[in-house]
Chain A
Amino acid sequence: MSKRFSTISDVEIKELYTPSSLKGWEYEKDLGDPGKYPFTRGIHATLYREKPWTIRLFSGFGTACDTNKRYHLLLEKGQHGLSVAFDMPTLMGIDSDDPKAQGEVGKCGVAIDTLHDMEVLFKGIPLDQVTTSMTMNGPAIVLLAMYLAVAEKQGVSFSLVGGTIQNDILKEYIAQKEWIYPPRPSMRIIQDMLVYGTKHLPKWNTISISGYHIREAGSTAAQELAFTLADGLGYVQAGIDAGLNVDDFAPRLSFFFNAHSDFFEEIAKYRAARRMWARFMKERFKAQNPRSWILRFHTQTAGCSLTAQQPYNNIVRTAIQALAGVLGGTQSLHTNSMDETLALPTEQAATIALRTQQVIAEETGVMNTVDPLGGSYFVESLTHEMEKQALEMIEKIDKMGGIVVAIEKGFPQKEIARASYHYQQQLERQEKVIVGVNKYVEKDERPIETLYIDEKCEKKQISDLKKVKKERNAKEVERALAKLKKGAEGTDNLVPLVLDAVRAYATIGEICSSLKNVFGGYTEQSVF
């Protein structure tokens, strides 16, 4: 039997692709020029010639003060925008002094309890001049409100505040598992944020619909594409159901994809994503504004592809993955640091990750022309294959009654678990190779230096929180939280209510538990 060749997602690949591989394929219909429907070749006519992608490194650790220093350093070294990594308690909407937060404070991101921490985090960083991305989902409404309150204190109008809040709760149930409330009330909060953002935040991306975590959880490339777009369809429907006109909010939706190691499969995935989204928006939702049709996306190289073994190899993996993102036409890019399977990145490792992007942008010449791979028999065939597989899955989800129902049934969760187990078995059989792990293994490796967050951080954070609680007006906090609870019971938009609570220095835990009292919590039916 001849050897079978397949991508990392196990899509079979032929020896050679020729014009006959693209039967029935039409340039205008399937590709179009860059900047033209269906945007397969990219969302801008000139792409990186006019404006290079935004170099945006995800960063955050310890206290707000520690992270603020790292942000100033990254901006000095030529990074364009900020991207905040929060610690686990903040991501789950609990305070640093909560017993469940023990041992987690500041460990895998920065700890934020009140507006005070956000003020320190952005000290000396004018929010009308830097755009910020916040990876925040369950309590997204709280962190957005805190960011706006910091802008207010800096005298920056909300209309000038630019950036992105991830706010993609559906993929939390599917993959990342950081939720607070059940899916349906979570969707109501997102509706409120869409409505508020559409009215008051013209430069803010209200949701970053994320495939990244779906991929990290073990999905294939086509599953990443399918579930992400299915989530996107769910949010667009939610916006319409909230009474918005699709063209008023769709242009502020953005996407976030993974860049894994299978170079061409990833490029095909991004190109298929743009084409599929354009068609969905135009055909299914009848959007008229071309800006509603375009899929803008951020890319992060695949954390799950990095190895603790021979960690320097991770620099090479990241560079290749980043190049795939660029050739796929990404709008912004995060490159992982080589030490991220071990700990949060050291300053040196983060600098190499930043330099990797600068080398790609300024030494390789890949920015000279738009979509250099367009028209390749192979890339176009693979783009078509990604689209075909993803459409089949989206059709299944549609038949179930949409993505919320599919999630409640555990459909994406089961599919991902199955794919990740399949890949692991391929690794065990050495059908797929990870250098340094299941092939070319070295004994007696010397460990590299890593960043260590000690327990002092937790103590400092808790004592700061105590101080804020003592100094704030307790009555004002109580009043704001009571109003918020009432709003949650009714149908008022929750954003202004959370903003008031934040301004009074209510903690993230207080705000989220007020909402949880109304909305309830969530436990998933685990499958393996």
Chain B
Amino acid sequence: MFLVGTRSNRYFNMKTHTRPLRLLVSKAGLDGHDRGIKVVARALRDAGFEVIYTGLHQTPQMIVSAALQEDVDGICVSILSGAHLALIKDIQILLKKNKISKIPVILGGVVPEEDFPKLKKLGVKKIFTSGASLQEIVSYFQTLKPQG
């Protein structure tokens, strides 16, 4: 049901990682703005990451179940509708409940700066807003460590 995309791993830095990182890339909530996340998903795939794209309209429950099933090293959530606080909160609660809250959650979308501290407190590792370059995003993911 999920679309998994991998490209050759030759771009991947084999010195730091023994295997390509698996990333869950998701659109949370009702928001259908998927231009950004698709571009990011493709850039991450082209950079050697294993990308699992959930598609649209995912509830926190669906995202966390996918993270569990797919055994991922990072969860990317894209929200442009303004519902980020409620959705992130639920995702974090479910991650804790399933004892996988170590998996970093990375948020992208339209997020006002005044919400940054609240989101960080909820456990979001990193936030990318509009104007972030692909290079910046890919470089960040290259610093992540594999889980387990």
Contacts and interface: CB of A to CB of B under 8 A. Distances in A.
B46 to A, nearest CB: 9
A104 B83 CA distance: 5
B136 to A, nearest CB: 10
Interface string B110-142: 101110000000000000011101110000000
Contacts of A434: 131
A469 interface: no
Interface string B68-98: 0000000000000111111100100000000
Given A178-B32, A341-B110, A420-B39, A528 B3 contact: yes
A437 B130 CA distance: 9
Given A103-B85, A108-B82, A526 B112 contact: no
Given A428-B134, A447-B113, A343 B82 contact: yes
B59 interface: yes
Q: What class of interface size applies to chain B in its complex with A?
A: 35 or more
Given A424-B134, A528-B38, A107 B83 contact: yes
Nearest to B79: A103
Given A89-B30, A308-B129, A342-B112, A108 B55 contact: no
A468 interface: no
A450 B110 CA distance: 12
Contacts of B100: none
B20 interface: no
A524 B3 contact: no
B34 A177 contact: yes
Interface residues of A, number: 46
Interface string A62-97: 000000000000000000000000001101101000
Nearest to A106: B82
Contacts of B39: 218, 420-421, 424, 528
B15 interface: no
Interface string B14-32: 0000000000000001111
Contact of B135 (A304, A428, A525): A428
Contacts of B56: 177, 524, 526
Interface of A: 88-89, 91-92, 94, 100-104, 107-108, 172, 176-178, 216-218, 304, 307-309, 341-343, 417, 420-421, 424-425, 427-428, 434, 437-438, 447, 450, 452-453, 523-528
Interface of B: 3, 5, 29-35, 37-39, 41-43, 45, 51, 53-56, 59, 81-87, 90, 110, 112-114, 129-131, 133-135
Given A424-B39, A428-B135, 6 more contacts: A88-B30, A100-B59, A108-B81, A420-B38, A438-B133, A526-B3
